[in-house]
Structure 1
Amino acid sequence: MIKIQLPDGSVREVAKGTSPLDIANSISPRLAAAVVVARVRSLQPTTDGATTETETTAATETQSEEAMYGGAAQAERLVDLTTPLTEDVALELLKETDPATLRVVRHSAAHVMATAILELFPETKLGHGPATDNGFFYDVYREVPFTEADLASIEQKMAEVVARDEKFVRVEEPREKGLTDYAAQGEFMKVHFIERFTKPGDEISLYKNGNFTDFCRGPHVPSTSRVKAFKVMSIAGAYWLGDEKNQQLQRIYGTAFFNQKDLDAHFKHLEEIKARDHRVLGKQLDLFSIQEVAGAGLIFWHPKGGLIRKTMEDWMRAECVRRGYNLVVTPHIMRRELWKISGHEGYYSDNMYPPMELDDAEYRLKPMNCPGHILIYKNSPKSYRDLPVRYAELGNVYRYERSGTMHGLLRVRGFTQDDAHIFCTPDQIEDEVVACIEFAQSVLTTFGFADFKVELSTWDPKKPQDYTGSADHWATAINSLKTALGRKNIPFVEIPGEAAFYGPKIDVKLVDVLGRLWQLSTVQFDFNLPARFELEYIGEDGERHRPVMVHRALFGSVERFFGVLIEHYAGAFPMWLAPVQVGLVPISNEKHLAYAESVKARLEAAGLRVELDGGNGKMNAKIRDFGLQKFPFILVLGDKEAASDSVSVRVRAKGDEGSVTVDEFIARAKKLVDGHAMEL
């Protein structure tokens, strides 16, 4: 007999080999019909014979190749409802309301799609088909490209597979048999996965539904009929193993939900995202462009975008000065030797542009500002009384992004980083990190983001070759960041193996109006660069000491932050950020243009950004054009307004609000601008 601990704390003794579905049926047939998958967690005996839950971290929901095909067994894992239980476990029966089950449904939908593909196009060879945050995909190899009509046929065939209610059945067979069978079928990708994720002598896991069999770790829903709402969406190219010398695969994307209502809501959400696409809005609103003749990933800021950029940067510089930073500027290129000292040449060279030969040495474009700030620090002696020293720079940096990875403003090759580096004593480090966190929170709230999530990226001690510094240094750095987050009562998720090569970091991910996460602000602890550059300060004891260093970027990059702002506001920027804050429309040029020009002069004298349409078009057309440009205010000027020194006010998204005096409007507009108001 084995012990099964349920979420309410009760324990049942059942025969070894009992399945989660058996237990669900023993509780309630309705529960058995509702559950999708089970989560089990190993229990271990204590010295007094009782059982306790093994301390473990929940398995990640991201379904990688490792999770699909192999990897070490986890103390906590998702399993099929029909899995025989052979040891004492804590058991949770998960319904559709649990977030983890949606990924299981999507991975099962990928198998349904693969089944349909092979039934329609049996010559196809299969790669892998993981669930993703938004759906699923399957990589396949077929010499003939799939068409949109083929995708429609695949979706129709998937409906047939779902209607057949085929059970997902897990079977095991010797690794060698799997390799032999897949090799005979020409399934080169399956052979690769078996060789990569299993060892000689292993049993491999296969999943069958009907006549379809796939090498997969699972888990899956009980049968194909549980894949109720799905859509085959698109197709894209992908090289096998990411190598352009290998076969060109076809990646077929789809999505799946528990019901049609959720599927419809998903596509409505996608339409909202499409309507907010910063690349489209950037062109419509004439904010920026990427010129093919100049090169991919290089941004040209147009006048209106440039005004917003200036507003962002002016705010950031003023805040830096207010918070005790010194503003500095460093060169765009520096000698290669500098990057060797910093470690970038060894750890980061794949992301840097190749060296360039100049008269006296080799130089490289800077991917970071930190070595330049270090040289400024080192240029003059420092005492403990000087610390902390805070340098801030809106510095242009250049990083080599591979072709195909760039995306508008969000992933570029040349960008402006709002970089700062703080040199301080070890005793000051926590206070400085806390101040950086507070600064990051101020950035988010000022620019209209109410929610954010925090990750703490730490090193992987099993791969010390990927990092610099000792284990003791890393432990000290990680604990400092954890303590700082604790002082601010900020919950965080620890992400092992994601630290920078020189130290751990705090990543702040803002949540936009559509609920999307964006990685922008980062605060990083660095004990390595001060050692590499032999930085010093004279302590209170008169001896030489080594400072520690904090890197922080709060916009992340001006380009990326601007792209996020465009999508968050759908181009309808708050008054203080809008490139044109007020549009003026005279009803008749002949009668009212002179008055409109006088109003424009008064508004501009008050510091407002104004555009006057003095063209020969009709009034309604001018109002419509200004509306499409998403101006916060449109002021209409006619006889009545000219006679009473007033303006007729139209507010973005609200419509006509009637007439007010020019002075009253200026006071209202100035209050919105000066207060960084989000609403009009």
Structure 2
Amino acid sequence: MSSVSPADELSAPADFLSRMRHTTAHVLAQAVRELIPEAKMGIGPVIENGFFYDFDLPRPLTESDLSTLEARMKAIVKENLPMQKFVEPREVARKRCEEMGQLYKVRLIDDLPDEAEISFYQQGDFIDLCKGPHIESTGRIGAFKLMSIAGAYWRGKAENEQLTRVYGVAFQKQSHLDEYLNKLEEAKKRDHRVIGKTLKLFHIDDQVGQGMVLWTPAGAAVRQELQTFIGHELRKQGYHQVFTPHIGKLELYKTSGHFPYYAESQYPPVIDREFLKKLSDEGCTCGELANKLESGDIEGYLLKPMNCPHHIKIYASERRSYRDLPLRLAEFGTVYRWEQSGELNGMTRVRSFTQDDAHLFVTEEQVPAEVQGCLSLVRTIFDTLGMKDFRVRVGLRDPDSAKYVGDPANWDKAEKACRDAAASLGVPFSEEPGEAAFYGPKIDFVVKDVIGREWQLGTVQVDYNLPIRFGLEYIGSDSQPHRPVMIHRAPFGSMERFCGVLIEHFAGAFPTWLSPEQVRFLPIADRHIEYCEAIKTRLVEAGVRATVDARSEKTGKKVAEAQVEKVPYMIIVGDRDIEAGNVAVRHRDKGDLGPRSVEQFVTDLLAEIAERRLSPA
């Protein structure tokens, strides 16, 4: 055994939090082994805000076990045990893990390349196979909390053993942990699945299928407003609206590269009946059919995973000149992806979603200006919705990966266009190799919501490759054929995901222009209903979503219900209001705004909606 000083393992100070969380995972493993000596340890990596550790246990863990484990972990931290590293030869290390009964660790050793260093870390009597790094001692661990218990397959594969995963969070200071836990509580209150049900914005039904969103009238109103808003901006930028089918021939997606290379994220193809009959007549077995599916050697159709091949075919449907470019084709196109059931999450992770998609066919010289136009559209959306805290992520190809198609020289040009455009925005941006689409680099917008969570929303991609794969051309000013460049862009991304994020960002209290119900009239008595209906009719004719609550309920109850349902304006009408030609205005957030003339209320309301204000003036 050769010892290594922990001081030699210290990384840069900026890495302290990661090393501390890693050490906390080891403290958890020690506590579990003390509570359940038969526990077999899996892996315990650092994750965002904390860590987890997987265990093979003889009995299930309970919530009360978490309290017991957390108390023991705090005691281990107080003991301030040094974290000592030692390295052993493969066979010695393997034997050690076998003698400890840690067979998952033996598997990990067997998976390591021959030249890999095999190291352990020890705190007190507890030893764990680990490459590190860690902090010097358990006493330097800050504030932590065990959060939950879940099931997890060994190495993430469903055919392997199911283990028990314990999640925890850790921070340097108690105040940081408290802030994080407060944000979690706020996030629970803002959960779009809960708010969506309360406000009747959407529904997911098992008979329709998990991951398939049914937009109810209220949710459809929000979606339609967003589509109207961006549609107006698209018309100003010279886009043309198109519509394409939900399904296409496999040959189309073979040419684009989406099939069969990304078959695992797509629905199985619909096999052509004549082709299927031919295979049957030839005595094709189920196994042979499965092989043909995997290789793509079949004829049939596919639920579209992307809109771009369809838009490409619209471009290719007629002869194009340089005078026709840029050609900007836009569609609210529904696409289909096969997401694992465990990854589905309300509206933010679904199997069927509609993209505010567009594809721009441009000359190479037009690329910078057109990318800028796409970015300005994204900024207009974020500014209008008050999402001003965002960063930009430039996804580049990984030069060591075979995933990417096309000429490296074209990739260089596309990546430069994305870098230059991102730099021009004046906001922080990062470059992430390996995050490009298979056909081109991309610019992603990562938005921070009101409680500090980040969401990847809009995207812009520069693509030299699909025009080559489909043989697209335009006739240049020299009367010779040239290859266009494609720009893919979706400012909202997915309408489902974007609306799910908006629900949580606004906690269901949408600004008036987006609210499913913008005004609710609350007549105090039946004799006031006719007056309310007359004003409501006027508003509806002006495009306002207004209703009258004519129930025989107390006004206080009506106000309370409208408040819960996040209606921006509650208009209370009694005898004095009618006599004066007024309405008593109450706002969801600002409370009682007092009496106003009908004319003034209507004028102010229509101006607020037309200007898409985030709050009343």
TM-score w.r.t. the length of structure 1 is 0.84
What is aligned with 1:311? 225
The equivalent of 1:485 in structure 2 is 422
Residue of structure 2 equivalent to 1:255: 169
SS in 2 for 1:575: coil
Q: Which moved more, 1:214-223 or 1:391-400?
A: 214-223
SS of 2:88's equivalent in the other structure is: strand
CA distance in 2, matches of 1:223, 1:18: 14
Hey, what's the Cα distance between the residues in 2 that align with 1:202 and 1:630? 59
**Retained in 1: the 8 A contact 2:467–2:485?**
yes
Report the residue type matching 2:61 in the other structure: F
- How far apart, CA to CA, are the structure 2 residues paired with 1:257 and 1:655? 39
Distance 2:38 2:48 in 1: 30
| Structure with more contact order per residue of length (Cα contacts < 8 Å, sep ≥ 6) | 2
3-state SS, counterpart of residue 260 of structure 2: helix
Matched, 1:586 2:523: yes
* Shift in alpha-carbon separation, 1:490–1:232, aligned structure 2, 3 A: closer
Residue 618 of structure 1 is matched in structure 2 by 554
1:400 alignment counterpart: 338
Structure 2 CA distance, aligned partners of 1:668 and 1:648?
14
The answer to whether the 8 Å contact 2:272/2:301 transfers is yes
Counterpart of 1:346 (choices 260, 263, 275) is 260
2 CA distance for matches of 1:216 and 1:418?
46
Contact 2:22-2:46 within 8 A present in 1 as well:
yes
**Structure 2 counterpart of 1:266:** 180
Partner residue of 1:355 out of 266, 269, 291: 269
Q: Is the 8 A contact 1:108 1:220 kept in 2?
A: yes
Q: Are 1:596 and 2:532 matched, yes or no?
A: yes
- Determine the C-alpha separation between the residues in 2 that align with 1:201 and 1:389: 55
More displaced stretch, 437-446 vs 364-373: 437-446
Distance 1:84 1:216, change over 3 A: closer
SS in 1 for 2:462: strand
The one-letter code sitting in structure 1 at the alignment partner of 2:62 is: T
In structure 1, C-alpha distance between the alignment counterparts of 2:602 and 2:116, rounded to whole Å: 76
1:83 is the counterpart of 2:20: no
Q: Quote the residue 1:147 is aligned against.
A: 62
Q: Which residue of 1 aligns with 2:488?
A: 551
1:163 Cα shift? 2.0
Alpha carbons of structure 1 residues 163 and 473: separation in structure 2 relative to 1, 3 Å:
same
Aligned to 1:135: 50
Give the alignment of 1:228-247 within 5 angstroms: 228-247=142-161
Determine whether 1:373 maps to 2:288: no
**2:486 corresponds to 1:572:** no
CA contact (8 A) 1:176 1:200 kept: no
Residue 537 of structure 1: how far off its partner (Å)? 0.5
Offset at 1:201?
Answer: 5.2
Give the SS at the match of 1:607. coil
Matched AA of 1:310: Q
Displacement after TM superposition at 1:384 (Å): 0.7
Pick from 178, 184, 204 the counterpart of residue 118 of structure 2: 204
Matched, 1:411 2:349: yes
Counterpart AA for 1:101: F
Q: 1:7-36 CA deviation, whole Å, 9 max, x = no partner?
A: xxxxxxxxxx998xxxxxxxxxxxxxxxxx
Structure 1 stretch displaced more, 344-353 or 366-375:
344-353
> What is the one-letter code of the residue matched to 2:615?
E
Moved more, 144-153 or 549-558: 144-153
Taking the aligned partners of 1:201 and 1:488, their CA distance within structure 2 comes to 46
Counterpart in 1 of 2:596? 660
- The within-5 A match list for 1:72-221 is 82-83=7-8, 94=13, 98=14, 100-196=15-111, 198-200=112-114, 202-221=116-135
Letter matched to residue 8 of structure 2: T
Tell me if the contact between 1:434 and 1:485 (Cα under 8 Å) persists in the aligned partners: no
Q: Secondary structure at the match of 1:393?
A: strand
Please provide the CA RMSD for this pair: 1.8
* Deviation, structure 1 residue 280: 0.2
Deviation string 1:110-161 (CA, Å, 9 cap, x unpaired) is 1111110001111111111122212211111113211112122111211221
Deviates more, 1:254-263 or 1:556-565: 254-263
How many angstroms apart in 1 are the aligned matches of 2:373 and 2:58?
57
Report the Cα distance in structure 1 between the residues aligned to 2:438 and 2:344, rounded to whole angstroms.
23
Q: 1:157 to 1:84 in 2, by over 3 A?
A: closer
Residues 24-67 of structure 1: per-residue CA shift (max 9 Å, x gap): xxxxxxxxxxxxxxxxxxxxxxxxxxxxxxxxxxxxxxxxxxxx
| Matching residue of 1:322 | 236
**What percentage of aligned pairs have identical amino acids?**
46
Structure 1 residue 517, shift from structure 2 partner: 1.1
8 Å contact kept, 1:649–1:658: yes
Runs of 4+ in structure 1 off by over 6 angstroms are none
| Alpha-carbon distance in structure 1 between the residues aligned to 2:462 and 2:593 | 52
State the secondary structure of the residue aligned to 1:555: coil
The answer (yes or no) to whether the contact 2:518–2:567 under 8 Å persists in 1 is yes
CA contact (8 A) 1:583 1:631 kept: yes
Cα drift, residue 359 of structure 1: 4.7
Q: What is residue 566 of structure 2 aligned with on the other side?
A: 630
1:102 CA drift (Å): 2.3
Contact 1:461 1:471 (C-alpha < 8 Å) held by counterparts: no
Q: Matched residues in 1 for 2:164 and 2:304: separation?
A: 37
Q: How does 1:274-285 map to 2 (within 5 A)?
A: 274-285=188-199
Structure 1 unaligned blocks of 5 or more: 1-16, 20-79, 86-90
* Structure-1 separation of matches of 2:530 and 2:244: 48
Provide the residue aligned with 1:440 in structure 2: 378
Q: Aligned to 1:113, what secondary structure does the other structure show?
A: helix
Query: What is residue 384 of structure 1 aligned with on the other side?
Result: 322
**How far did residue 202 of structure 1 move?**
4.2
Of 135-144 and 333-342, the range deviating more from structure 2: 135-144
Displacement after TM superposition at 1:606 (Å): 2.9
CA contact (8 A) 1:580 1:609 kept: yes
In the TM superposition, what whole-angstrom CA distance separates every residue of 1:306-344 from its partner, at most 9, and x where no partner exists? Answer: 111110111122211111111000110011111111111
Contact 2:392–2:422 at 8 Å: present in 1 too?
Answer: no
2:553 is aligned with 1:639: no
CA distance in 1, matches of 2:409, 2:585: 64
Is 1:459 aligned to residue 372 of structure 2? Answer: no
Q: Residues 534 and 309 from structure 1, CA distance in 2 versus in 1: closer, same or farther, beyond 3 angstroms?
A: same
The answer to which of 638-647 and 186-195 deviates more is 186-195
How many residue pairs were aligned? 590
For residues 102 and 201 of structure 1, the distance between their equivalents in structure 2, rounded to whole angstroms, comes to 29
User: Does residue 1:649 correspond to 2:585, yes or no?
Assistant: yes
Partner-residue secondary structure (3-state), 2:193: helix
